Structure 1
Amino acid sequence: METRYNRRKIKENYCAGQHLKLPDLKKTAKSSGIGNQYLYKENIPPYPRPELHVSHLKHDTDKRGLKGISADEGFRAAFRGSLVWWSLAVTPEEISSAEERLLKEAFPEWTEEQAKGQENSLAKFATSPAFLKTSRFGSYRFTLPLRELLTAYSQQFCDGSAPVLRVFETVLYKQEVVYSVLVHSRSNNQLFHHFPLLRDDPDAVCAYRDGRFIWRPEAMCETHSYELTKNPDQNGFEVNFVYGPPFYVWDNVAVAFHVDDAQVLQLDESQLRESLSFCKGAAPPLAKFQSFEDATELVQELWPGDSSPLKGE
């Protein structure tokens, strides 16, 4: 693994062109002499490994970023970079669907009656920051369908052709693992050819299929307050509380849209306003947060023609 510091002066250990599952990430980190009190923990209670089909992306920002997005009517790379960053926005419905797939895979004879006793079991494990409604990057969140973003990117940067999706990086922080996907135009194939194409691999952490990202989380809890056990007699899973729950790493998926210097991934004004919501801050905060009242006032100032109330996450 290589090491760098991001613009917030936070240390990043990373592997380019790979999405390393936890066993391989542990081996790679150890061989690189990287110490990490969370990654190397053993005896983590059993937890589910669902397959999530995610159809929306989210982009969190602060007051300054919101003003820029409003003025540009879209998204540009921050701090003279060339990437606009988004992350997966997983809905409760997508978690429920993933739970149903888990049950059907583990118990082929699973019935609808037995399903009722399993409702919301997966939600008990979806507790890492990747699944929470809070934000670490600011009070404002744009949530948009992946299809809309890819269509806008195709029209503005790809001359109408389909964008190229590639395996970008695995980044290890103190407790967070980020699997990033790069989106770029075919005209930049030569620039990014050394990153593997993102394929619909059934064993991959992240894949793309029919307008959705297929995400198979490696660690979805952060704090492991429950353990999952299989109960063949009941044709289902049992979820039991763990006393003194251990902290572990947690993972998420980030999506980086490549834009040239000073270019903007533009959206309709109505798309921007309708997709905007207010977020409370999560720890550790990486930006300044505002109150809901101040946020409402700012949004009304930036979109004076829209009187709809600001949504709260």
Structure 2
Amino acid sequence: MDTTVPRVLKSYLCETQMKMNTSLSPTTYNNRCEEELDIDAGVPDNVHRKEEGEIDENNSSTLENHGCKELFFPKEFKTIEELKDLDLKCHMWVKYLLKKKNPLLPKVKLTISKLIHATSKKGVTGILQNGGFKGELFNENLKCGPFSFWTGAADSQETTNQIRSWLQKNTKNLSMLSPEYFKTSPAFSESSLYGNYKFTLDFADVLEAYKTQCCEGKDPVFRVFGTSCFKAEIMYTVIVHSPEEFQFNEFPCLPNSKNADVKICTQDNNSIFWYPESMSRVNKYNLYGYTDFLEYYVWDHLVFALHITDYLKFPKEYLLKQLSACELQTVNVCRDPENIDIVQRYIDELKSEQPQNDKDVGVTHEIA
């Protein structure tokens, strides 16, 4: 069986649709993160289209996010199984979640060790000029924020080890498969959805800076913001805020990892643990005892919304040290894409302008 993942052309606008040939099914690539839309199995025309921000019987609302439709479930993290049980009538539900076949999804517990903020050249300029990251309103319909958004990332080797352990303990005839195969989604990629410029900071550094600058030295509070569903992407968002900030009290606190019924994300002594639902965009299925059947499926990632009323600041030399060039995902929401070589040259220029004696300075959490 031909299991080649189809090549796709680059598209930078969510509205762009490109018809591709694939051995899996006839598809049209559209919107975010390699999300394919089945030509013959779209959402029926008679399905009720919610107005933006309208809350329905599933306690969800439809929002606009980077030009794409987002189905948002506030104050809860919905697992794939829970989403399956809802009568959503959206593309994700019709195209993926109603499938009777079950993909082989690793069940692992990952420690968030890095936070990633990807942006454009304009964004980098503003961050370096202001010495940090500013907050923006999440959505005008929800009136939440202002937030600075970061993607949570786990150590690559830890992820590989966790998948290998899962393969050995929980699956038949799969122990010879490479764990790398099971972490191919954008959540585990070096490329980005949002821009060619990527700041990758240690989770501990960001947390300590936030504690010092935004919490008066107190530990920040972590809360469940909600679940966002796009065409094939599930985004789980955690609010991080000062204990003196009360606008988020209606959102439940992130559960402790010692709780028996844990899902998606937990905390323990300022450590954050992520339990990914689907770690690859193309998954193996266990069909009639065979495991070489490939199909697209949903994927998920964890995002942190840091409540920042002004700026979360870091020394410029530290920011430059954490800045790198990155490719864009094949389909992305970046409005100002650039050639990766040009991006790298610009970053090299920025770093060369930094005084030599400042290049090895570490992060300072106390900003005057």
Following superposition, the deviation at residue 289 of structure 1 comes to 2.2
Letter of the 2:302 partner, please give it. Answer: V
- 1:215 corresponds, among 254, 274, 279, to 274
Following superposition, the deviation at residue 88 of structure 1 comes to 1.6
**Which residue is 2:307 aligned to?**
258
From the superposition, tell whether residues 39 and 62 of structure 1 become closer, same or farther in structure 2 (CA, over 3 Å). farther
5 Å-filtered alignment, 1:2-151, equals: 2-28=60-86, 30=87, 32-36=88-92, 37-78=95-136, 82-99=146-163, 102=166, 121-151=178-208
From the superposition, tell whether residues 306 and 17 of structure 1 become closer, same or farther in structure 2 (CA, over 3 Å). farther
**Which residue is 1:233 aligned to?**
none
Does structure 1 retain, via aligned residues, the 8 Å contact 2:265–2:275?
A: yes
Letter of the 1:153 partner, please give it. Answer: Y
**Which residue is 2:217 aligned to?**
160
Aligned equivalents of 2:355, 2:265: Cα separation in 1 = 37
Cα deviation, 1:264-304, whole Å, max 9, x if unaligned, reads: 11112222111111111112121122223321333245441
- 1:195 corresponds, among 251, 257, 265, to 251
Letter of the 1:242 partner, please give it. Answer: D
Following superposition, the deviation at residue 127 of structure 1 comes to 0.8
Does structure 1 retain, via aligned residues, the 8 Å contact 2:118–2:199?
A: yes
> Which shifted more, 251-260 or 119-128?
119-128
1:175 aligns with 2:265: no
Following superposition, the deviation at residue 48 of structure 1 comes to 1.6
Does structure 1 retain, via aligned residues, the 8 Å contact 2:266–2:273?
A: yes
**Which residue is 1:283 aligned to?**
330
Following superposition, the deviation at residue 85 of structure 1 comes to 0.5
Aligned equivalents of 1:144, 1:286: Cα separation in 2 = 22
Cα deviation, 1:210-268, whole Å, max 9, x if unaligned, reads: 4532111111111114769x9xxxxxxxxx7624x1111111111100011xx111112
Equivalent residue of 1:124, what SS? helix
Structure 1 vs Structure 2 CA RMSD: 2.8
**Which residue is 2:314 aligned to?**
267
The answer to which structure has the higher helix fraction is 1
Equivalent residue of 1:64, what SS? helix
Equivalent residue of 2:302, what SS? strand
**Which residue is 1:293 aligned to?**
341
From the superposition, tell whether residues 60 and 205 of structure 1 become closer, same or farther in structure 2 (CA, over 3 Å). same
Does structure 2 retain, via aligned residues, the 8 Å contact 1:166–1:183?
A: yes
From the superposition, tell whether residues 56 and 211 of structure 1 become closer, same or farther in structure 2 (CA, over 3 Å). farther
Which TM-score applies when normalising by structure 2?
0.70
- 1:242 corresponds, among 260, 268, 292, to 292
Equivalent residue of 1:87, what SS? strand
Q: Across the two proteins, how many residue pairs are aligned to each other?
A: 284
Does structure 2 retain, via aligned residues, the 8 Å contact 1:53–1:213?
A: yes
From the superposition, tell whether residues 296 and 98 of structure 1 become closer, same or farther in structure 2 (CA, over 3 Å). same
Equivalent residue of 2:97, what SS? coil
Structure 2 gaps of 5+ residues are 1-58, 139-144, 360-368
Following superposition, the deviation at residue 5 of structure 1 comes to 2.8
Letter of the 1:84 partner, please give it. Answer: S
**Which residue is 1:236 aligned to?**
none
From the superposition, tell whether residues 105 and 43 of structure 1 become closer, same or farther in structure 2 (CA, over 3 Å). closer
Letter of the 1:38 partner, please give it. Answer: Y
Aligned equivalents of 2:64, 2:298: Cα separation in 1 = 20
Which TM-score applies when normalising by structure 1?
0.81
Aligned equivalents of 1:305, 1:165: Cα separation in 2 = 35
Following superposition, the deviation at residue 135 of structure 1 comes to 0.9
